[in-house]
Amino acid sequence: VNRRRDMITLTTRQKEIIEFLLEKNIFVTSKELASFYAVSSRTIRKDLDHIQLFLKENDVLLIRKQGKGVYIQAGSDEIKKLGSILNKQENIVYSKSERLAIAQILLLIYPNITFQKMADFCYVSKQTIINDFEEMKRKLYEHHIEIKKIQGVGLHVEGEEIEIRRCFLDLILCSDHSSVILEVCGHNQVMKKYISICNTMINKIETVLHYKYLDKKRVELILAFVLDRINHKHYLKETSNLIITNEEVEKIASILHQYISADLEIEYISSILVSERIEGRMTNEDEILHEARAISEYLIDELQNIHDFDREILQDTIHGLHLHMKAAIYRCQNNIHIRNELIEQVYYTIPVIYEFTKKKIKIVEENYDLSFDENEISYIALYLASIFETGIQESLRVRIMIICAFGLATSSILKARMYQIFGDCDIIGPYSIEEAKEYLKQNTVDLILSTNEFEIEDVSVL
């Protein structure tokens, strides 16, 4: 792929955000953008930083106002020029984290795949993918999945089938790069083979149950992945006796029986389908969702009493807890038991959060007439630990602006010193005094380091 190093290039999502903002022509909040593109607010903020540089390069202003959101200030001629530039930017440039997510999903989809094929999907060189390999291995190992190499054939993954499927679901449902993954899966030939039959199955379910899936494309891709695993004889092992008594699940199962013979696979797919977002679900299900949100918010409120954190930054994880709580309530009411393979690690690695969760769940059980077992409690503890730890990290993150007129070497030294002192911080600049003034009209920082005389209200300047 040819790239011009002197031009700022955009990812597919960043181009879409620009087009979205131009079309809206009003202030849009980071939270709204995060919800629309199914990524975290933090990811959106990083995208907006990159977009701001791109627009500045093209003499267009991105206005960012706290409490109001972002807005592209452009006249008709500037909009026309931007459209032309965006159309000419044919090369897709993925960030490293996007590239790693794509590589993981490809390893899960393909029985065997080469470094070169992954490189082609990611629009980078083969060597770049090889350089990413150790990190790929580490990320998959977190799901108890190993990457194996076969000389002359390629790479494939090995692990318990349930772990491989959980990893796929995590990437497509919970990753910051879900939209990129959906795009890659949607154009993948392996997945495309099953889309027609998946579409038929979903249409039948929607007709029988009188509702519509909000993310139909995502549901199709999840079904396609499971069908491909079954087709290659990668079956789930019998780990527990699932008891399905819910009328809705029974109707879904009866439709799936027309296409799949294994009862355990039908139960597994049914459990996924009942947790997907829909329009027009029966009242009982709405009550479960309401209870799930109320319980989740209670637990998060209690956690926030220990250490305050910014909920907006953690919306994705909190949403994940809502969905998990909904499924947990459903399992409690229908005597369905799951096993948390990480339960021992939870006891020993996050004992304080586990005991906190256990104590608060007792209150929840009394108030809602529910009974959560140790497996369910340990899963909820994992969500709360993630919210707590991420909240602490975000609250300690410092935004530092560097103002420097002495050149790159001095700036580099200042940057290096700040990273040593603060570790996880955001470095803004180096900017000239004029550039700094423009930036601070629309943005906030915690500290300014300047090699020139500089003063501004409410910010410490060294």
Backbone angles phi and psi of 422, in degrees to 5: -100, -20
Contact criterion met (CB below 8 Å) for 364 and 370: yes
- The letter for the amino acid at 316 is D
Q: Where are the beta strands (DSSP E) in 146-225?
A: 146-150, 154-158, 212-213
For 95, the token pair is 């960030």
Determine the residue type at 268.
Answer: Y
430 cis-preceded (ω within 30 degrees of 0): yes
Contacts of 209 (CB under 8 A, 6+ apart): 248, 251, 252, 281, 282
The first and second tokens of residue 233, run together, are 């004889």
DSSP state of 451: S
Per-residue pLDDT of the chain (462 residues; tens, 9 = 90+): 333 334 566 777 788 888 888 888 889 998 888 888 777 777 788 888 888 888 888 788 899 988 889 998 888 888 877 777 777 655 566 888 889 999 999 999 999 999 988 988 887 788 889 999 999 999 999 889 999 999 889 999 999 998 899 889 888 876 778 888 888 888 888 898 999 999 999 999 989 888 888 778 889 999 999 999 999 999 988 644 444 456 778 888 899 999 998 888 988 888 788 767 666 544 445 567 788 889 999 999 998 888 777 777 777 778 878 878 887 887 777 655 666 667 888 888 888 899 999 999 999 999 988 888 888 898 899 888 888 877 665 555 678 888 876 655 566 667 777 766 666 677 887 888 888 888 888 888 888 988 878 888 888 898
Residue 62: φ, ψ to 5°? -100, 115
Query: Of 97, 95, 14, 3, which Cα lies nearest the Cα of 62?
Result: 14
pTM: 0.50
CA distance 43 to 177: 9
- C-alpha 443/C-alpha 61 separation (Å) is 13
* Token output for 326: 């909904």
